[in-house]
Structures are given as C-alpha cells and as structure tokens.
Structure 1
Amino acid sequence: MTTSTENEAPNKITVWMVEDDASYREQLHALLNERKGLSCPHAFSKCDDLFATLEAESSWPQVILMDIGLPGMNGLDGIRELASKAPDVRVIVLTVFDDEEKVLKAIDAGAAGYLLKHASTEEIDKGIRDVLSSGAALDSQVASLILDRVRNEKSKHNPLSPQETEVLNLISQGLCNKEIAYDLGISAHTVSFHLRNIYKKFDVHSQAAAVSRGIRQGFI
C-alpha cells in the first residue's frame, strides 16, 4: 500500500484528519489545503470512518492528525491500530490534553508527534514536515513536560550500545538521519540500522516513542 495519493501533485504531502469538533475540523481542513505543498483530502469525525477509508482506498496518507477524545474508538486505540495496520503512516496527536499521562500514552502507542490545538497552522505545517524529515514533532510545552516529569523513571541497565545511545540522543535534539550520520561520521544506512535496533530493543514503533523511553529510563 502506498502512502501518496496518485492524483495529487508531485511532492505534495498528503494529510488526513480525525477530529470530532466539527468547527475546528472544518476550519483546519480548509487551512491545510491552502498551505503550499500540503493536501488534506479527508477529515473524519471518528476512527471508524478513517479505517473504513483506509481499507477502501488504494493509497494512504503520509501523516494523520489525530485527536484523543473521540467518539467510539478513542485516539489512543486508533494510534495503536494504525501502528499495526499502517506502520508507515506517521500520526501526530492534535489535542487539548497536555497532561503527562496522556502525552506518554500517546507516544508509547506509536504517535510520532504531539501538538496542542492552540498551535498555529504554521506550527502544525512544521510539525507535519518534521515527522517526515526528523521523525518527531513535539509542542515545546509537551517536550518540557516530558523532560521535567519523567526522568524519575530510571533503569539500571541500558540495553543500547554506546553508538545507539548517541543516535538516540541526537534524535532527541531534532536531528534527521543525514545530520546524525554527519555528526557521528557514519553512513545514513548505519543510522537506520541503529534505529531499527533501538526500536526492537525498546519495543516501540516511532522515534518519538524511542526518545520518550530513553528519557524516562535515564539513558539520554
């Protein structure tokens, strides 16, 4: 299954939305379609409609903006389902919830980013591009919350090799694979190899989840 729509202009990023607030959904849907390089053909009110469309269409979006408080299947369960059925599709949580429990649950479920609804269209646009280039997009308030509130979850043993730990630390600083490769003097292929090992050792499916786990366990 591809993650680019055949009838979209080349190089456009395809984004879908799942948001039950009709007013916010319609407004953001229109604004995203006005952004250069973005296309948002679908905006759903619930996860059931999202998954029905995923099954029916021959191509999938690159990024899905997902609320947490949804009717029927909630956003967290939707993220887990997407991680299983469409692992190449990046999910950014876009919600009003900013407490650490929901943030960490969303990231552990497989979200590649977590933005709050007060984010501007420009910030959401940047977040979409960030998850496709560097692998993560976190609201600054959310990033501070993670750093401030979860460092007490320490582990005595770091399962990562020294270079894997270096890679994870550079990911946490927002560097993309090519930048990490340059900094460490290794190939981008080797960076990808280390990332796969990190995911396997941490049992996660995204860079954001790996960074969250590394911070919580005190490895970075």
Structure 2
Amino acid sequence: MDRTLKIMLVEDSRAFTRVVELALNEDPAIDKVMSFGTAEAALRSLNKLHRFVPDAIILDISLPGMSGLEAIPHFIGGIEEVPILMLTQSDKEDDVIQALSRGAMGYLLKSATSEEIRAAVRNIASGGNVLDTGVSKYIIEKLKKQPKNEKVDHRLSDRELATLALMAEGLSRKQIAHEFGVSVSTVVTHINRIYRKLDVPNAPAAISKGYRCGILE
C-alpha cells in the first residue's frame, strides 16, 4: 500500500489500547491512530472531525453502552467503504457470525500477536478479509454445512467464481490481482459484479452466500 493509513481504535481497556497503539505505531504504513473508549464517542467524533476519515476501524465487542456488534451498522452507515476489524476476547460462534453478517471485514482475538494485528489491519485496509485461526476453522465448517437451499439469480463467470474462492481464503484484492496477473482495478470490477449478482453488501456476506448456494465447496 503506497499511502499511510489512519486507524480508529474503539477499545475500553486503557491497557490493551496502549498495546494496540504500540503495535500499530511500529508499522511505517500507519500514520495515525485515534482511540476512543466507547462506540458513542467514536461515532460523535466522526460527525465532528470530517477531515479525519479512517482507513480502517478496530472495534471491540464488549464496550460500555453500545456494544461493538450494535455499533457496526452505525459505523458502516456513516462511512461507506471503511472496513471494520473486530478485535475481541470472544470466540463465541454467534458473535463471529453476527459480526460478519453485520458487515465486519475481519475478526481477530486479543490473543493475536502484534504482527498479526498489524497484518490484519493492512489486509482489511487493502480490501481483504481476516479470520482468526482460532475461530476460522469451525466458522468455515459451519458455512459449508449450511443447507444449500438458496439460489442465485445471475450465474457467476469462471473468473468471478475463482475470485470469490480466493476471497474465501482471505486474500486481499492486491493478492488476488497478483494471483491472476491483472490490475487491482480489474479485481475490484470482478468483486463488484459478484456483490451485485449475489445481492450482498460485502465480502463476508458474499462468501457466506456462496456456501449457502453451493457455488463454494
């Protein structure tokens, strides 16, 4: 990624906030980190600081007042195309499914290393998806076992299907472009067509629907 990133961190633990800030500040690709202890404070800041539009939001689930899960649609509704990474202690299946279905692009446990946190932020900021290795296996297995009773109105092309499969593996747009030997803008075009054909708003929803429809195996 050529430009530096601006990150918004929403975390009520001051100790863990400091840990994340130190981890991110070690990355030369990250220019600024703004931290808030509640989702309400973070949302208010977005309304006031129009000049600060984050490239990614790191969001805890367990927060005083509005929970991280409740806050996801508010963040997405206020800032289009800004990816959200859930960074939490919860490895509950229901929390993971809810976070992804509401629009989060990544889910990482707080046991992650500093490098894993930095890599996750870079990944979602470039259009990729992140699932913690501690939860990804059973989530993917659950998606695979869902009844394949949904239908897709518009058939995906071979390249779109291959793109969706790589998205399901967690590859970013840049990585998919490298895999296919095409430009990132071409990959973005494929992804937008996938979203339109599957009638979904984001990558996690596309992957989930792909398994439910039986087009991902």
TM-score range, shorter chain: 0.7 to 0.9
Alignment of 1:8-27 (within 5 A): 11-27=3-19
Q: How many residues in Structure 1 have an aligned counterpart in Structure 2?
A: 211
What is the letter of the counterpart of residue 45 of structure 1? G
Match of 2:188 among 192, 195, 199: 192
Distance in 1 of aligned mates of 2:85 and 2:64:
18
Aligned to 2:39: 47
Whole-Å separation in 2 of the counterparts to 1:76 and 1:217: 26
1:103 equivalent in alignment to 2:96: yes
Q: What is the alpha-carbon root mean square deviation over aligned residues?
A: 2.3
Answer yes or no: is 1:162 the counterpart of 2:154: no
Contact 1:100 1:149 in 2 (8 A): no
Q: Which of 152, 163, 168 is matched with 2:145 structurally? A: 152
The Cα shift of 1:187 comes to 5.8
- Identity, in percent, stands at 33
- What CA deviation, in whole Å up to 9, does each residue of 1:23-60 have, x standing for no partner? 21233223322333224431111111101111111121
More divergent stretch after superposition (76-85 vs 27-36): 27-36
TM-score, normalised relative to structure 2:
0.85
Selected match of 2:27 from 32, 35, 38? 35
Residues of 2 paired with 1:177 and 1:169: CA distance?
12
- Is the partner of 1:68 in helix, strand or coil? coil
Matches within 5 A, 1:28-177: 28-57=20-49, 58-153=51-146, 154-159=148-153, 160-163=155-158, 164-177=160-173
Moved over 6 A (4+): none
Deviates more, 1:80-89 or 1:193-202: 193-202
1:80 positional shift: 0.9
Q: Aligned equivalents of 2:37 and 2:169: distance in 1?
A: 34
Provide closer, same or farther for how the CA distance between residues 48 and 144 of structure 1 changes in structure 2, counting only shifts above 3 A.
same
Which stretch of the first structure deviates more once superposed, 39-48 or 101-110?
39-48
Partner Cα separation in structure 1 for residue 115 and residue 182 of structure 2: 33
Instruction: Indicate the SS of the match to 1:150.
Output: helix
Confirm or deny: 8 A CA contact 1:151 1:215 kept in the other structure. Answer: yes
- Which residue of 2 is the match for residue 6 of structure 1? none
Q: Structure 1, residues 158-207: CA drift from partner, whole Å, max 9, x if none?
A: 34423332221122223343554565576644432231232234443332
Shift of 1:112: 0.8
Q: Which runs of 5+ in 1 are unaligned?
A: 1-9
> Which one is further off, 63-72 or 174-183?
174-183
The alpha-carbon distance between structure 1 residues 217 and 70, as it changes in their structure 2 partners (threshold 3 A), is farther
